[in-house]
Structure 1
Amino acid sequence: MLSLEWLANARGIMQKIEETQLENIKEAASIMADSIESNNWVHTFGCGHATIPVEEMYPRIGGFVGFHPMVELPMTFFTGITGQMGIHQFLFLERAEGYGDAIMKAYNFNEKDCIWIFSHTGINNVNIDVALRAKELGMKVIVYGSAAEAKGKVTRHPSGKTIFEIADIVVDSCVPVVDASVNLKNHQDKIGPVSTLAFVTLVWMTVTTVAEILADRGVQLFIHPSHNVPGDTTAQERLDACLAEYKKRVASV
């Protein structure tokens, strides 16, 4: 069954992450913890399906204040597929030189912030422009993606570098560069991508590590609670406190 083949592939990716990326995750999480402890931000960015891990971490039950999602609607909302904000426009924009610079102009940053970018192949201009501008502003750049598989791929950026070559810290998603993982008879292209699963796995491995570091330092986190549990009479109060803290912090951005 192809469903079980995909499941085995997904498990294999998760196992490889566990076997090879724990130290890199801890290093990335330590930098993120430093930013959050100093009341600054971990800015998060991705394009296309790489916005899914950004949207997964905050706002999210079990997430906490400190992660600032930078999600550009034209770079993520292409479910119309054709017509307005379709695939053709998205592919043009993610490869457009200078669009990432324009995105960065829309925010205020602190050098004690860091930025966490998700990029499967690491070759497209928007992500690289964002990373380069972040480094110019003094921020640490943390990149998650298929770094080992991307070696040898030609970047589209005039710098001549992939985003993995620019990053201060790289965590490898351990995903094949083609992403899709299951062969289908009578077809050239594979089905069953695994990059989104890998990214979401890495998000929670990282965010839980950040939380552990901060808790060990005695930092009080503002955690987004579940407001759907019967009998939890203070859930709304905790949620309000969480959002109030986010609103206070995000005013600087």
Structure 2
Amino acid sequence: MTVKNEVTKFLNYLSNTWQQVIENEDEAINKAAELIFNSCKDGGRFYVFGSGHSHMVAEEIYIRAGGLAYVKGILPPELMLHQMPNKSTYMERLDGYAKNMLTLYKVEAGDSIMVVSQSGRNNISIEMCMEAKKLGANVIALTSMEHSQSVSSRHKSGKNIYEIADVTIDNHAPKGDAAYRMEGVDTGLGPTSDFTGIGISQAIIIGVISRLKEAELEIPVFKSSNLDGADEYNDRLFNQYYGYWK
């Protein structure tokens, strides 16, 4: 196979994976959007969390052009990948960390939170779901069901996040995430969880905005800061929605 054909093959692989989302996740995405809409209209917020590479899915809908100002990202740098290799891997297996994060970010009853995790098996994601539910928040899990159902939990509860959440959305990424195969290469390539996860997250935001519009409520959406006049517009949203931490 030529290099060009290999690229085309992978693009088709991506397309087929996304098609699985389209065919199977519409109902779950709408359920998530409904929970988040109810939080927003009642004065709450929509929190998003992910560690390791999953933080990129959470970050995608936080203070973003086209993004909803109700979104608050729980994105502590120690759980991302830029500080040190494997640091986030070790930290996401710690007990007790998530509860403190929820306290710090002031998650409350009536809020909604989406926890993004490919495997859904590590302590911080599981405890983020469990502790948020104790606070009375709605919990949405964005995970790979193929992966999560084939591995054991690392948490003492024995549960993975799909077993805790109010709504679970399957990203349709395969077990191990990187599963595209190329002849002569002995490991999987081309992870898809961020690709589908970002698309799903943006679909959720569209679902929330459509409900705000139908209810004739304010739709606070950021503009690209690279458009003329956008800075003044965005600053008003920053001051209104981020000028204080509720």
Q: TM-score, normalised by structure 2?
A: 0.93
Amino acid at match of 2:179: S
Provide structure 1 residue ranges, at least 5 long, that are not aligned to the other structure.
80-84
Cα deviation 1:13-36 (Å, max 9, x = unaligned)? 111111111011001000001111
How far residue 109 of structure 1 moved from its aligned partner, in angstroms, is 2.3
How far residue 95 of structure 1 moved from its aligned partner, in angstroms, is 1.1
The question of 1:188 aligning with 2:186 is answered yes
Amino acid at match of 1:242: L
Alignment of 1:147-162 (within 5 A): 147-162=145-160
Cα deviation 1:99-129 (Å, max 9, x = unaligned)? 2223223222220101111111110111011
The match for 1:82 is none
How far residue 246 of structure 1 moved from its aligned partner, in angstroms, is 1.6
The match for 1:143 is 141
CA contact (8 A) 1:65 1:245 kept: no
The match for 2:175 is 177
CA contact (8 A) 1:9 1:181 kept: no
Alignment of 1:203-222 (within 5 A): 203-222=201-220
The match for 2:242 is 247
1:225 and 1:75 map into 2 onto residues whose CA distance is 28
Cα deviation 1:77-106 (Å, max 9, x = unaligned)? x23xxxxx4223222111112222232232
Query: Which of 17, 30, 34 is the matching residue for 2:34?
Result: 30
Deviates further, 236-245 or 135-144: 236-245
Q: Count how many residue pairs are aligned between Structure 1 and Structure 2.
A: 242
CA contact (8 A) 1:5 1:182 kept: no
How far residue 6 of structure 1 moved from its aligned partner, in angstroms, is 1.8
Alignment of 1:34-113 (within 5 A): 34-76=38-80, 78-79=81-82, 85-113=83-111
CA contact (8 A) 1:53 1:203 kept: yes
Equivalent position SS for 1:182? coil
CA contact (8 A) 1:6 1:181 kept: no
Q: TM-score, normalised by structure 1?
A: 0.91
How far residue 65 of structure 1 moved from its aligned partner, in angstroms, is 0.8
Over the aligned positions, Cα root-mean-square deviation in angstroms equals: 1.5
Alignment of 1:5-20 (within 5 A): 5-20=9-24
Amino acid at match of 1:10: L
How far residue 147 of structure 1 moved from its aligned partner, in angstroms, is 1.8
Cα deviation 1:207-242 (Å, max 9, x = unaligned)? 11110011100111111112333xx5x433321211
Deviates further, 145-154 or 19-28: 145-154
- After TM superposition, the runs of 4+ consecutive aligned structure 1 residues lying more than 6 A away are none
CA contact (8 A) 2:39 2:45 kept: yes
